[in-house]
Amino acid sequence: MTYIVTDNCIKCKYMDCVEVCPVDCFYEGENMLVIHPDECIDCGVCEPECPADAIKPDTEPGLEKWLQVNTEYASKWPNITVKRDAPADAKDFDGKTGKFEAYFSPKPGQGD
Ligand code: SF4
Ligand code: F3S
């Protein structure tokens, strides 16, 4: 198994998660992060750290799409281990549904 980042990270991107990961397996897109499923050691430490509750174990049902998104973009986006400021309007998007369809960006973030 692995943990994965899901829809509510998009445009919230709080980045608290990157500070606690013992194996530095978060990767940064323009408006969300993903976890590299082959690097994650399933420690679960990041899950409660996310203010947007966007990190889930892939054993939860219905997350196949997100496992695919995390796998694909972890190999395309730069590694991130240091938290920066969240987007100024992050709170406006916290809890909105359908963010992948509306806002997902395949562009890489800046990384560390
Ligand atoms: Fe990192 Fe642990 Fe979260 Fe996996 S579960 S991404 S190893 S903090
Ligand atoms: Fe995203 Fe939550 Fe990390 S919003 S950047 S998964 S702390």
Contact 91, 58 (CB under 8 A): no
| Residues in contact with 60: Cβ distance below 8 Å, sequence separation at least 6, in sequence order | none
Quick one: which ligand is closest to 21's CA? 1
How far is it, in rounded angstroms, from Cα 109 to Cα 112? 9
Tens-digit pLDDT string for the chain (112 aa): 999 999 999 999 999 999 999 999 999 999 999 999 999 999 999 999 999 999 999 999 999 999 999 999 999 999 999 999 999 999 999 999 999 999 999 999 999 9
Q: Whose CA is nearest to atom 1 of ligand 1?
A: 21
40 lines ligand 1 (CB under 6 A): yes
pTM of the model: 0.98
| Residues in contact with 2: Cβ distance below 8 Å, sequence separation at least 6, in sequence order | 35, 37, 38, 40, 42, 57, 58, 67, 70
Quick one: which ligand is closest to 33's CA? 2
Neighbours of 73 (CB within 10 A): 21
CATH level 2 (architecture), domain 3-84 = 2-Layer Sandwich (3.30)
- Ligand 2 centre distance from Cα of residue 13 (Å): 5
Domains in the chain: boundaries: 3-84
